[in-house]
Structure 1
Amino acid sequence: MQTIHPRAMRIAVAAALSIPLLIGTTLPNAAHAAPAAAVSAVKENAAFNTWAETFAQDWVRQNPQMATSTQYFEGAEQNALDRQLTPLTDARRKQMIALAKKGIAQLDKYMAGPLSEDQRISAATMRWSLSKTVEGEPFEGYNFVFSQHGGVQVGLVNFMTQTHPIRNANDVANYLARLEQVSTRIDEALVRARRDAARKLIPPRVILERAQYQVDKFLEPAAAQNVLVTSLDKRSAALKDLSPEARADAIAKATHIVQEKVIPAYGRVKAFMVELYPRTGNVVGISRLPDGAAAYAHYLSNFTSTKLSAEEIHAIGLREVARIEGEMDKHLRELGLAEGSVAERMKQLDERFQPKTEGDPRPELLARYADYVTDAQVRSKAIFNLMPRAPVDVRREPPITEASASAHYSLPAPDGSRPGTFWVPLRGPKFDMIRMRSLAYHEAVPGHHFQLAIQQEQTGLPKYRANRIFGGGSAHSEGWGLYAERLAVEQGWYKDDVPGLLGALGSELFRARRLVVDTGMHAKGWTREQSIDYGINKEEIERYIAWPGQANAYMVGMLRILELREKAKNELGPKFSLPAFHDVVLRTGSVPLDVLGEVVDRWIAQQKKI
Structure 2
Amino acid sequence: MPISSPRSLRAAVATLFVPLALAASVLPDAALAAPVAKTAAARPNAAFEKWAERFADDWVRMNPQLASSTQYFSGAEQAALDRQLTPQTPERRKKMVAMAKQGVARLDKWIAGPLDETQKISAAVMRWSLSNVIANEPFEDYNFVFSQFGGPQVGLVNYMTQTHPMRTAADVDSWLARLDQMGTRMDEALARARSATERKLIPPRFILERAQFQVDTFLKPAASQNVLVASLEKRSAELKDLTPEARSAAIARATRIVEEKIRPAYVRVQGFMAELHPKTNDTAGISRLPGGLKAYERALANFTSTTLGAEEIHAIGLREVARLEGEMDKHLRSLGFTEGNIEARMKALDATFQPKGEGDPRPAILEKYKAMVNDALVRSEKLFNLKPRAPVEVLREPPLTEASAAAHYSLPAPDGSRPGVFWVPMRGPTFDMIRMRSLSYHEAVPGHHFQLAIQQELAGIPKYRSQRIFSGGSAHAEGWALYTERLAVEQGWYEGDIPGLLGALGSELFRARRLVVDTGLHTKGWTRQQAVDYGINVEEVDRYVVWPGQATAYMIGMLRIVELREKAKAELGAKFSLPAFHDMVLGAGSVPLDVLGQLVDGWIAREKAKAV
Fold agreement, TM-score > 0.5: yes
Alignment of 1:160-559 (within 5 A): 160-559=160-559
Q: Is the CA contact (8 Å cut-off) linking 2:9 and 2:563 kept in structure 1?
A: no
Q: Is the CA contact (8 Å cut-off) linking 1:22 and 1:316 kept in structure 2?
A: no
Letter in 1 for 2:601: D
How many pairs are equivalent? 600
Change (3 A) 1:265 1:301: same
Letter in 2 for 1:489: V
Which protein has greater RCO, CA pairs closer than 8 Å, 6+ apart?
2
Q: Is the CA contact (8 Å cut-off) linking 1:22 and 1:559 kept in structure 2?
A: no
SS in 1 for 2:171: helix
Query: Any idea what the Cα deviations from partners look like across 1:450-477, whole Å, max 9, x if unmatched?
Result: 0000000001110000000001110000
Letter in 2 for 1:105: A
Residue 19 of structure 1, CA deviation:
8.5
Q: Distance in 1 between matches of 2:555 and 2:521?
A: 18
Letter in 2 for 1:176: L
Q: Distance in 1 between matches of 2:518 and 2:25?
A: 33
Runs (5+) with no aligned partner, structure 2: none
1:33 equivalent in alignment to 2:12: no
Q: Is the CA contact (8 Å cut-off) linking 2:410 and 2:421 kept in structure 1?
A: yes
Residue 18 of structure 1, CA deviation:
8.5
Q: Distance in 2 between matches of 1:12 and 1:328?
A: 13
Change (3 A) 1:390 1:102: same
SS in 2 for 1:409: strand
Letter in 2 for 1:171: D
Q: Is the CA contact (8 Å cut-off) linking 1:23 and 1:312 kept in structure 2?
A: no
Change (3 A) 1:293 1:17: closer
Q: Is the CA contact (8 Å cut-off) linking 1:68 and 1:81 kept in structure 2?
A: yes
Query: Any idea what the Cα deviations from partners look like across 1:574-605, whole Å, max 9, x if unmatched?
Result: 11000000000000011100000011100000
1:146 equivalent in alignment to 2:146: yes
Residue 25 of structure 1, CA deviation:
1.8
Letter in 1 for 2:547: W
Q: Partner of 1:3 in structure 2?
A: none
Q: Distance in 1 between matches of 2:151 and 2:557?
A: 26
Letter in 1 for 2:517: V
Q: Distance in 2 between matches of 1:404 and 1:277?
A: 19
Q: Distance in 2 between matches of 1:324 and 1:519?
A: 19
Change (3 A) 1:526 1:325: same
Q: Distance in 1 between matches of 2:51 and 2:9?
A: 46
Residue 28 of structure 1, CA deviation:
6.2
Of 24, 36, 42, the residue aligned with 2:16 is 24
Alignment of 1:62-211 (within 5 A): 62-211=62-211
SS in 2 for 1:339: coil
Letter in 1 for 2:349: L
Residue 24 of structure 1, CA deviation:
3.3
Letter in 2 for 1:599: L
Q: Distance in 2 between matches of 1:16 and 1:591?
A: 26
Q: Distance in 2 between matches of 1:17 and 1:372?
A: 29
Q: Distance in 2 between matches of 1:16 and 1:45?
A: 43
Query: Any idea what the Cα deviations from partners look like across 1:207-250, whole Å, max 9, x if unmatched?
Result: 10000000011111111111110001000001110000000000
Letter in 2 for 1:432: D
Residue 23 of structure 1, CA deviation:
3.9
Change (3 A) 1:517 1:23: farther
Percent identity of paired positions between Structure 1 and Structure 2: 70
Q: Is the CA contact (8 Å cut-off) linking 2:438 and 2:503 kept in structure 1?
A: yes
SS in 2 for 1:196: helix
Q: Distance in 2 between matches of 1:12 and 1:543?
A: 30
Residue 39 of structure 1, CA deviation:
7.5
Q: Distance in 1 between matches of 2:504 and 2:6?
A: 17
SS in 2 for 1:423: strand
SS in 1 for 2:382: coil
Residue 122 of structure 1, CA deviation:
0.4
Q: Is the CA contact (8 Å cut-off) linking 2:20 and 2:307 kept in structure 1?
A: no
SS in 1 for 2:12: coil
Q: Distance in 2 between matches of 1:38 and 1:22?
A: 24
Q: Is the CA contact (8 Å cut-off) linking 1:285 and 1:525 kept in structure 2?
A: yes
Q: Distance in 1 between matches of 2:272 and 2:546?
A: 18
Q: Is the CA contact (8 Å cut-off) linking 2:435 and 2:507 kept in structure 1?
A: yes
Q: Distance in 2 between matches of 1:71 and 1:339?
A: 55
Residue 31 of structure 1, CA deviation:
4.6
Query: Any idea what the Cα deviations from partners look like across 1:351-394, whole Å, max 9, x if unmatched?
Result: 00000121100000100000000000000001000110000000
Q: Distance in 1 between matches of 2:16 and 2:525?
A: 23
Q: Is the CA contact (8 Å cut-off) linking 2:10 and 2:563 kept in structure 1?
A: no
Residue 149 of structure 1, CA deviation:
0.9
Residue 339 of structure 1, CA deviation:
1.4
Residue 22 of structure 1, CA deviation:
6.0
Q: Is the CA contact (8 Å cut-off) linking 1:388 and 1:453 kept in structure 2?
A: yes
Residue 38 of structure 1, CA deviation:
10
Q: Distance in 2 between matches of 1:198 and 1:19?
A: 48
Structure 1 length-normalised TM: 0.97
Q: Distance in 2 between matches of 1:38 and 1:365?
A: 49
Runs (5+) with no aligned partner, structure 1: 1-10
1:586 equivalent in alignment to 2:566: no
Q: Is the CA contact (8 Å cut-off) linking 2:19 and 2:305 kept in structure 1?
A: no
Query: Any idea what the Cα deviations from partners look like across 1:80-114, whole Å, max 9, x if unmatched?
Result: 00000000000100110010000000000001111
23-32 vs 71-80, greater mean Cα deviation = 23-32
Q: Distance in 1 between matches of 2:115 and 2:5?
A: 37
The alignment's C-alpha RMSD in Å is 1.4
Q: Is the CA contact (8 Å cut-off) linking 2:472 and 2:593 kept in structure 1?
A: yes
Letter in 2 for 1:24: L
Residue 13 of structure 1, CA deviation:
2.5
Q: Is the CA contact (8 Å cut-off) linking 1:70 and 1:467 kept in structure 2?
A: yes
Q: Distance in 2 between matches of 1:245 and 1:505?
A: 56
Q: Distance in 2 between matches of 1:24 and 1:493?
A: 30
Q: Distance in 1 between matches of 2:307 and 2:231?
A: 43
Q: Distance in 2 between matches of 1:106 and 1:38?
A: 27
Structure 2 length-normalised TM: 0.96
Q: Partner of 1:6 in structure 2?
A: none
Q: Distance in 1 between matches of 2:124 and 2:7?
A: 37
Letter in 1 for 2:318: L
Q: Is the CA contact (8 Å cut-off) linking 1:22 and 1:556 kept in structure 2?
A: no
Q: Is the CA contact (8 Å cut-off) linking 1:16 and 1:327 kept in structure 2?
A: no
